[in-house]
């Protein structure tokens, strides 16, 4: 009797293995080697060799998680179906994302019929031997900037307080200086009047002496 398992293994070895592709390419199309466009909102953005920034766009703008973890979330799957129904150029998400259940009977499936949508790392279906560019995590950079900003707040507040105190001191100084000059002017006027009276008195005394 022929060995069925060895026969199946030999036949499976002859079957080509399809590359894995990320689910994000159901929502994005590649315009060039470094530019992609969202099929839903037509937003264009840079492409750096992986799908990290594309996943963030789908999460932030369309509230869907196209990662492997998101495919296990019923609410996320419902949002993906609704997004597909609103965009006529997309395929039905229910046929592309199988939901795993406990105690499901297993059956042999030919490798040629398998297409797995998986999380990073993935193989880009548009890949043409282009070099992999390390993606810069802009969220992490933004967090670092926020922490630096929060850490510099006490010194900024102290600097602002010192500046306010300097302005108040200068204002008070010029106010007192103006008052001082007003008093000095008044004293000068009184002194001039005093000298005038003294000169008039001296003139009268001289006239009396001559007469």
* Total of domains in the chain: 1
Residues 6+ apart with CB under 8 A from 51: 22, 24, 120, 122, 124
**Does residue 189 form part of some domain?**
no
CB contact at 8 A, 117 and 71: yes
Give, as one character, the DSSP assignment of residue 199. H
Residue 45, beta-bridge partner list: 36
46, two tokens: 């840079």
CB contact at 8 A, 22 and 66: yes
3-state secondary structure of 48: coil
pTM given for the model: 0.34
Angle, CA of 115, 84 and 109, to the nearest 5°: 20
**Does residue 171 form part of some domain?**
no
Grade residue 194 by pLDDT with cuts at 50, 70 and 90. very high
Q: Residue 25's Cα: distance from chain center in Å?
A: 23
On the CB side of 189, CA atoms within 13 Å amount to 6
**Does residue 40 form part of some domain?**
yes
**Does residue 176 form part of some domain?**
no
Q: How far apart, in Å, are the Cα atoms of 93 and each of 87, 88, 114, 177, 200? A: 12, 12, 16, 80, 113
**Does residue 208 form part of some domain?**
no
107, two tokens: 């059956």
pLDDT tens figures, 135-159: 444 444 555 555 555 555 667 777 7
**Does residue 85 form part of some domain?**
yes
**Does residue 210 form part of some domain?**
no
Residues 6+ apart with CB under 8 A from 192: none
Q: How far apart, in Å, are the Cα atoms of 169 and each of 159, 166, 177, 180? A: 15, 5, 12, 16
3-state secondary structure of 144: helix
Range of the domain at 115: 15-98+110-136
Cα(77)–Cα(79) distance, integer angstroms: 5
pLDDT tens figures, 9-46: 554 455 444 455 677 788 888 899 889 998 888 889 98
pLDDT tens figures, 98-123: 444 444 444 444 444 334 444 444 44
**Does residue 129 form part of some domain?**
yes
Backbone angles phi and psi of 37, in degrees to 5: -135, 135
């Amino acid at each position: 009797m022929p060995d069925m398992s060895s026969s199946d293994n030999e036949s499976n070895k002859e079957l080509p293995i399809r590359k894995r592709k990320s689910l994000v390419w159901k929502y994005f199309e590649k315009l060039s080697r470094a530019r992609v466009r969202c099929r839903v909102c037509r937003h264009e953005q840079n492409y750096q060799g992986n799908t990290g920034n594309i996943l963030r766009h789908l999460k932030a703008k369309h509230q869907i998680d196209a990662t492997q973890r998101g495919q296990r979330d019923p609410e996320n799957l419902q949002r993906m179906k609704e997004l597909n129904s609103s965009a006529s150029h997309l395929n039905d998400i229910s046929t592309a994302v199988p939901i795993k259940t406990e105690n499901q009977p297993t059956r042999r499936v030919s490798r040629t019929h398998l297409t797995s949508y998986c999380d990073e790392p993935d193989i880009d279906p548009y890949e043409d031997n282009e070099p992999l560019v390390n993606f810069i995590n802009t969220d992490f950079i933004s967090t670092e900037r926020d922490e630096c900003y929060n850490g510099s707040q006490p010194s900024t507040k102290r600097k602002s307080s010192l500046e306010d105190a300097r302005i108040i001191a200068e204002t008070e100084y010029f106010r007192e200086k103006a008052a001082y000059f007003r008093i000095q002017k008044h004293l000068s006027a009184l002194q001039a009047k005093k000298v005038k009276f003294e000169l008039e008195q001296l003139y009268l005394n001289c006239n009396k002496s001559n007469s």
